[in-house]
Structure 1
Amino acid sequence: MLNRRSFLKKSAVVTAGAMLLPAFLKAYQNDWKGKTEFKGRRLIILQLTGGNDGLNTLVPFEDDIYYQKRPRLAIPKQELIKLDELQGWNPAMQPLQALWEEGECLILNAVGYPDPDRSHFRSMDIWQTGSAANEFWSKGWLGRYLEQLPQPKPYTALELDNQLSLALKGEKMAALAVNNPKQFKRQLKSPIIQALLEQQHAAEHEQLAYLYQTLGETESSANYLMEKAQLYTSSGDYPKTGFGKDLKQIAELISAGCETQIYYASLTGFDTHANQKNKQAQLLGQYAQAVAALRQELRKAGEWENTLIMTFSEFGRRLAENGSGGSDHGTANNLYLMGGGLKKAGIYNAPASLSQLDQGDLIYDIDFRRVYQAILSDWLQADAKAVLGRSLPKLDIF
């Protein structure tokens, strides 16, 4: 018999091992084990963690101020991939040139929010919840979206990580955080979890009953993901990195017909206070190669038209370089939308002014929540106002 003391000890170990997410399945009472292939639209969120320098990603090469303020960091005009008469990509973004030329990328300049916060943690919370700078929300914008769905499944949203981002947490349900779908079931075979599962008919406490239910549903979800992950093996040219592995796994699940609607993955390392030029180029090259490989596989699988990729970072960097060959925390930044179903492609709005700054920082032009609103209402056909708690001026994107 598993008593309360044993339960507390063992469940603490399980939680510490990131094998259970105690809030993520409480609301799931329906039978979700069907094998019907998902036919709707998918959303892939790619987070560039640390504050990517947007000015050295999409370079305003016709603005002399850029070169004046960044004598060491600035990328020479002749090295850029020119996208229009004003801006060009960092050469590390070359793997995405075909995507751009085929009209499958929309770039929004100067995306941010009023009263910006330069703290990584606070600004990321704002982006992940969709709150205002003076609001402190504990539920993510995608978690709130999940709770609007009539019959969400445990794997309707999936983060490729050991920990779940705030963006995917709701009041009663949340996404799954799985580092490797093929090994997820194997993790559930630990002696502690199996001992808990074997005691499911002896539950005498509400906490135990809840844990048994959650474990059972987690095991079923693991079975489903493992089954799908084994149906298709990617042959794409992904970078041999954690981020490359994550996007490869996303491609495999989508190509196998997995019903997951939302995928979330992160690429870390963009807090480039020193030695930025080479470090950022390496990270952007990794990002571009992985996204290009993902695009190729989804096109081959006939899923690219139904897929939207949104790439963001919690803030940009200041205009002026610092004394360490890097740049410091800023505010407004570029945001990227990619996919085969975009209504518009190209560069959506003018570059941020480099002559009119807010204490050395770029001034935002587009509130990031307007992008969320467009994705929710026009891509996912959801009630954006109910999710975001507000209505904002419409962005005509899709």
Structure 2
Amino acid sequence: MNRNASNAEAGNLSALNWISLLDFLPLADLQHLQDRLARIGNVKIVIADVDGNPLTMPSNDLPICRQVKQSAKGLDDCLVNLRTLSMKARRAQIPFVEQCEGVGVLKAAVPIVVQKRHLANWWICQYCPELSNSAQILTYAQMIRLDGDKLLRCINHLPKANRQDFEKVLAWIENIAHETTRLAFRNLLLTQDLSKLSRIEDELAAYKYKFENQVQARTDDLVQTNKRLQLEVLEREMAEEQIHRKSKLLDAINQVLHQIVTDRNSEQALAGTCLQAAKALTDSPFGFMVENQEGCWRVVSVADQAVVQQEEHVPVAEKFEINGLWRQLVQTGESQILQANENTPPWGPLPRGYPKIKTLLAVPLPSHTGVSGFIA
């Protein structure tokens, strides 16, 4: 065949230097195609590689060829003819036709070419009576030392055609064979492309799996690092809070000690200093200190009395009864913490003039001081 595969296949040729015809046309399919073409065209066909080795079994064999090849001289003539045709087809990559001298048989070599690569040849033969007569056949039989009468009888039983019909059949077979070869080759390229795509997909899937695992591992590391950082920040904040509280406690103690040293005779001043220290420690907006005196609580000191009186413009009561929460302080000697919305029996009213509160912390004075009272 003298046609090459399409330009779309050109880029794949460099990777297919090793290719043979049977790589993209299975032998069974090739044999079936050859048999049908030989039967329809009424010609002998066989496919051989570029070295002349048959790839298929002959289809529609000519008995005259078998007769001639029984002679050493006839076989040698046949091989010379084959080599000559093969060389011409290989060089030009187009079909060539030669006549077998003496017997009137036309023989054609049709190259199978894919992308300028010569893969094999279609060998097509047919008997044409117009190319020889009985005298020529008898003369040739004598030259190759065969029985001339027997050769004539063999020829008389052959299908007959002229050169014009042979060339038409040759062109028809060439076109069909070319299209079949081209499509088969393209199918091979597509199969290889699909295989390559499949490998690429597998590689991409492996890379994706590896990447996702790496991302997950990095994400887990970041989550763990973030948790550690949050814990470190929390621990640092707690440590700073503890340091701040200890600092405030030391300041409060220093204030009380300073008051004791500088003003030993003023209980009122000492109580105010203690109350201010407690207020600073608890970040309270106001506070007061009381002592138990004759069954009532006597207010000894009030911190930020202006805040206390901002809602009710009445004097702050200096005494109030020991009941509710205040009684529990005397009985348990333990600190009490209550929310304003808690509806519990210990919660009792504050003395007249005190504002509404959200949270109350009441701490009784230590019993070893000899003073019964609390700071709130």
Q: Could you say which TM-score interval applies, normalised by the shorter chain?
A: under 0.3
Report which structure shows greater RCO (CA 8 Å, sep ≥6): 1
Superposition TM-score, scaled by structure 2 size: 0.23
Superposition TM-score, scaled by structure 1 size: 0.22
Greater fraction of residues in helix:
2
